[in-house]
Amino acid sequence: MIRVEGVTKRYGPTTAVDNISFEVERGEIVGFLGPNGAGKTTTMRILTGFLPPTRGAASVAGFDVATQPIEAKSRIGYLPESPPLYPEMSVIDYLRFVASIKHIPRKEIPKRIDAVLERTSTTDVRDKLLGKLSKGYRQRIGLAQALIHAPEVLIFDEPTSGLDPKQIIEVRELIRSLAGEHTILLSTHILPEVASTCGRVIIINEGRIEASDSLDNLTARLEGATALLLDVEGPPDEVRRALELDLAVRSVAEESRLGDRTALRVEVDKDDRVARRLAAVVVNSGWGLYGMRSLGMSLEDIFLQLTSQEEQANGGEGPAAGQGSDGGAPAADTAEGQEGDDR
């Protein structure tokens, strides 16, 4: 449905997207994941025909975006990062306008408008001015706008950014409900969003694709690494040192502390006996072991691992300079995203 082949986009000396290729099959929901400034928006703009690529080709539903733009564009529903709304228009007038420029036959327009208003639960604001709507409604009208011509392909650029937790859940549910009838590519820098909505993840960083796989495979790919959570009663520093002595242990981090008890997150190589050995270390040292359970590698870990590997590999190169600030952003947003995920 979506095919990107060797697409590169340069803005003057900076390369926003560097020779990326990927495909999205019919009916898939694919998450496009990466820190801010990774090239997600640029890639989406190339796919929607808003920007031409410097090199490479993109096609949607079999139509090349550059050479058959009208055919390609009429099969795409696109929600840019900020919904493209005209503040002085009413919801209904706006949707009528969009329906018309998307070539919906005139007599079908009212029906389509009713359908998308219902789908995005915005029927109650149909006569309001777009400029007077709350952020959540604006986002949903943005979605309605993308859906109105029932396109085969939906492209959403950060569909949940700036929404409150309840709205985030609603928008995610809406996106999930679109699965099957549409092929969806959505970008985000919020990790739980991918876990909760997407079947496949494409991780992009500094304009390059770092990984493209299903969530399960991605988790499995980082084979060898897993984590244990230990609840230990004892002097934290000593416990830590003792645990670190084990060869299979990669790192030990304190999660929380309550009185004498400390929760420790221990990253270990995959090893059948490591849990047994760690338990023995704690017990033999005379400390109390209140609990031990294994933690899977979370998406966040994968993301950080993949993108930070890249950072290290890049070393002293120019673009790395801007990375410091970028690197901080996903972590903060993650917190916000997880909040939204708590139900």
Partner 1 sequence: MRDTLTIAMREFSVYFTSPIAYIVLAIFALIFGYFFTAGLAFFMDYSMQAQGSPGAPPMNVNQFVIEPSLGNMSIVLLFLVPMITMRLFAEENRSGTIELLLTSPLHDYQIILGKWLGALMLYGCMLLVAVVNLSVLFLYTTPEWKPLLVALLGLALMGATMIALGTFLSTLTRNQIVAGALTFGVLLLLWVLNWVSSFETSTIGRLCEYLAISPHFEQFSRGVIELKDLVYYLSGTALGLFLSKRSLESLRWKA
Binding site for partner 1 (CB under 8 A): 45, 48-52, 69-71, 73-74, 76, 78, 80-82, 84-89, 93, 97-98, 100-103, 145
| Cβ at position 13, least distance to partner 1 in Å | 14
Closest residue by Cα to residue 34 from 201, 196, 171, 219: 201
| Cβ at position 54, least distance to partner 1 in Å | 9
Nearest residue (CB) to partner 1, 35 versus 142: 142
Q: Give the contacts of 101 (CB within 8 A, at least 6 positions apart).
A: none
| Cβ at position 203, least distance to partner 1 in Å | 25
Q: Which two tokens stand for residue 59?
A: 């096609």
Nearest residue (CB) to partner 1, 81 versus 300: 81
Nearest residue (CB) to partner 1, 154 versus 266: 154
Region of 47 on the Ramachandran plot (φ > 0 left; ψ -120 to 50 alpha; else beta): alpha
How far is Cα 62 from Cα 168, in angstroms, rounded to an integer? 32
The DSSP call for residue 50 is S
- The bridge status of strand 29-33 relative to strand 14-24 is unpaired
Helix extents (H) in 69-214: 69-73, 91-101, 109-119, 135-147, 165-178, 191-197
How far is Cα 58 from Cα 71, in angstroms, rounded to an integer? 13
How far is Cα 67 from Cα 120, in angstroms, rounded to an integer? 33
| Cβ at position 144, least distance to partner 1 in Å | 13
Nearest residue (CB) to partner 1, 112 versus 240: 112
How far is Cα 73 from Cα 150, in angstroms, rounded to an integer? 12
Nearest residue (CB) to partner 1, 74 versus 305: 74
How far is Cα 68 from Cα 288, in angstroms, rounded to an integer? 69
DSSP 3-state assignment of 206? coil
Nearest residue (CB) to partner 1, 103 versus 111: 103
CB contact at 8 A, 229 and 205: no
| Cβ at position 69, least distance to partner 1 in Å | 8
| Cβ at position 50, least distance to partner 1 in Å | 5
| Cβ at position 88, least distance to partner 1 in Å | 5
Nearest residue (CB) to partner 1, 82 versus 251: 82
